[in-house]
Amino acid sequence: MTNFTKFAVATALTLSLTSGVSAATTLKLAGVVPVEHYGNTLLEQIKNDIEAANVDLKVNVFPAGQLGAGEELFEAAARGNVDLVHSVVYAHSDPVLEINSLPYLVSSWDEAEKVYLNKGSAFNKIFAERLEGLGLKLLANAPEGFIGVVANDTPDNASTTGDKGMNIRVWSSQVIKATVESIGFKATTMNWGEVFPAIQAGTVDGAICCTAQLAYSAFATSDVGKAFIPYNAVVENTTYYASSRTWDKLSQEQQSAVQSAFDKAARDYAAWGRNNEAQYVTKLQESGYQVVTVSDEDRAAIAEKVRADVWPQISEIVGKDTIDALMADK
């Protein structure tokens, strides 16, 4: 047998042995929360759950902003450069997504879970439809907790409305800008990646951004900021989503495995947030942070003013039909 014949036979044998065996598809899963954050534990859980389903999928995890900030990942996923993302969804690409910043939409954890975890809620139906139009597939919304303000100082009227004499960072949202201005702050829009150096340098006096957990893990542990004001104006609703380009290439079995992993993670995220909120208020105080006490009465008064000031503006941005659907559902 000639060398060429031997080679041909060996090649044919190899092909016969490997035919029908497909290499697993590897998906990129990107997150943005700090290294110490519980959200990264869930990224690893998602990876393990998907791979354990034995549907020829592998997952590479890129935590803590390794592949970019939330706004960057949004665009990267739409282009198909990132497959799966965990981040806050901003409204820079679609104003209707401002519903994610609707102030005082819910007032308790029970209400938050009905709005954000229930796939049939008006909120999730609207959210999924708008993401689909941007080339993204909503997998799950995951409420982490209620958002407050991290600041370098505490104004005398921190627990009421009125001029605070402070300029704080807001994310890319006209709604959240109007919300903090209604409370009494001046507002400067900047991306998440700019917040830390801006507060350290005094470019801004603080930021509306964080649950008590995120305030502790992202700011207090880095000696950034001195105070936390729990206005609870907005739910920190982080979102799990996929690139539609990736999703459409998956088999039905693979889609089912991926969806199941993210549904489980969203439920775990919400349960963890509900059970650990008070713990991180204590951690903030132990770290030297001042945590301002905002009574239920003061918070209700702030909520009433914010709704009166901001909700009419929201209706103009997202459409009255959207607001009506959210309110009817509520």
Q: Which of 14-28, 102-116, 153-167, 304-318 has the lowest mean pLDDT?
A: 14-28
Is 5 among the domain residues? no
* pLDDT surpasses 70 at 144: yes
Is 287 among the domain residues? yes
Is 6 among the domain residues? no
* 204-257 residue pLDDT tens: 999 999 999 899 999 999 999 999 999 999 999 999 999 999 999 999 999 999
CATH classification of the domain holding 205: 3.40.190.170
Is 176 among the domain residues? yes
* 266-287 residue pLDDT tens: 999 999 999 998 999 999 999 9
Within 10 A of 23 (CB to CB), how many other CB atoms are there? 8
Is 18 among the domain residues? no
The total number of structural domains that make up the chain:
1
Strands 84-88 and 235-243, by their bridges, are antiparallel
Q: What's the CA gap between 202 and 200, in Å, rounded? A: 6
* 164-200 residue pLDDT tens: 999 999 998 999 999 999 999 999 999 888 999 999 9
- Domain residues for 146? 24-329
Is 162 among the domain residues? yes
Within 10 A of 202 (CB to CB), how many other CB atoms are there? 9
Instruction: Give how far Cα 324 sits from Cα of 166, 190, 202, 234, 321, Å.
Output: 34, 30, 41, 19, 5
Is 3 among the domain residues? no
Is 46 among the domain residues? yes
pTM for this predicted structure: 0.84
